[in-house]
Structure 1
């Protein structure tokens, strides 16, 4: 399989070696594999993007070249990357989730209920220039920022969801303090962000060390991954939300009428 020439390069976390746990029975190469696999399945990096070299990966994670090579080989064995002598390693997985149509009113009502009955902790917030794949989703100019938030949602003190969102707003009232005390849907209404369509996709990924720490689970454990794209009346993407759910603390259910089932039977 051939991949196109690409200038996109995988962006690693700022301190990737801090995500590894030497006290776990899971080998280091497999921990690195899980971290990279999660990013690739989420679409960052995109199809055709170049992965770090074995030496670059080893230096970033503070491991041997053999360990880094094993992680890249595992990605290749999983069909996520292609390794070519002289050209390096490139992503060959295409992250194109299938949309499911559900009534928007019922969905938003359920989200309101969830927000009101749980607690949220804001881990990060700021106006951040997004990576190229997300910039392209929103149709932004290079260097234009989005409001990025990382939150953990809990129920009676038990964390069940790790939320990462990108929102098209620069309003001063959309901030960390507001996100910690008010549901995002209420903030959208307050700021005049009208949602016309919501598209969701579900998948399963492995939790990296950062996610595992916040969800109180072992790194590499399977989590339910939900991506939610929200569009305004003009059809423009205004919010991108990725949620990783602890499978023992959260289940996702949907009720469909017979008319809804017709297209998928």
Structure 2
């Protein structure tokens, strides 16, 4: 039997009770199916594999199942999803659970809900940052995923580097450098707040970067600097009032904090940054591979960095 079920509106009114762990056995050839016909094409719902014993909330499990159908390309942009009632019956969950799952997908920009018309697939391309890539975020999104990146530059100026940035760049304490702060959006949705610190020799370039430009591309063109490696440190932090306002979330909402240093082909660090990321708008994609042996010394430069900078 196929791993998916065609949805048909013929569930018996008093169907059998769900197993203790999964709502349906994927190997059960007698699993009930529903058929909901959209104007565009037939909708195929995945097996209702909701783990009843898992600590993961049902709405999150459901949203992951639906998200996989969208990102796999099985559900194309413009396709109308089954009704909330159909989803409740098929997956064996409450209407509240379905609404929470759909709200999460809508927040991620994957679906849109149109009053009086239904819920439609909005986007089938993943928003994900390939974190271990040495390329800048702008190049990653524009080139790898074809998304539109825009930035609002909040501050760009020469400055005394904070202690963690001096350490990461291999400078003496209180060395001078240049900084640029940006609120960055992907396809018009605010996704992150980014603060970069660079050596002062790049000041003229950094200070002239516009909102729709790539910082790394400008460094490549004007200084022949090519990113060759880097190190990223991640942790979860709550949003203070300023971050909440900048990123459009509630105060104390969880964000992913990323501290990074990037080095060039000579293993000289040329940029370090701190980023606060909305993971409901941008997921983190990590591919595991062997690190080059000569990266160890450069990687150690960020180990002794100061604690996370607080943005209230």
8 Å contact kept, 2:139–2:214 = yes
| Equivalent residue number for residue 157 of structure 2 | 126
CA 1:131–1:210 in 2, change beyond 3 Å: closer, same or farther?
Answer: same
SS of the aligned residue for 2:271 comes to strand
Asked if structure 1 preserves the Cα contact closer than 8 Å seen for 2:168 and 2:272, the reply is no
Determine the structure 1 residue equivalent to 2:229: 197
Shift of residue 109, structure 1, vs aligned partner = 8.0
- After superposition, the Cα gap between the structure-2 partners of 1:219 and 1:184, relative to the gap in structure 1 and judged at 3 Å, is same
User: Per the alignment, do residues 109 and 162 of structure 1 end up closer, same or farther by CA in structure 2, a change over 3 Å counting?
Assistant: closer
Deviation of the 1:162 alpha carbon: 0.4
* Residues 1-265 of structure 1 mapped to structure 2, 5 A cutoff: 107-108=134-135, 111-115=138-142, 117-171=148-202, 173-190=204-221, 191-256=223-288
CA displacement 1:15-54 (0-9 Å, x = unmatched):
xxxxxxxxxxxxxxxxxxxxxxxxxxxxxxxxxxxxxxxx
- Superposition misfits of 4+ residues, deviation over 3 angstroms: none
Q: 1:181 to 1:111 in 2, by over 3 A?
A: closer
Structure 2 stretches of 5 or more lacking a match? 1-129, 292-312
Q: Is residue 122–residue 176 contact of structure 1 (8 Å, CA) maintained in 2?
A: no
Deviations 1:177-236 (A, max 9, x none): 424231012012112223232112221111111111110011111001122210123333
Structure number with higher relative contact order (C-alpha < 8 Å, ≥ 6 residues apart) = 1
Structure 1's unaligned 5+ residue stretches are: 1-101, 261-265
Supply the RMSD in Å over aligned alpha carbons.
Answer: 2.7
Deviation at 1:172, TM superposition (A): 5.1
| Secondary structure, aligned partner of 1:134 | helix
- Aligned mates of 1:109, 1:164 — CA distance in 2: 13
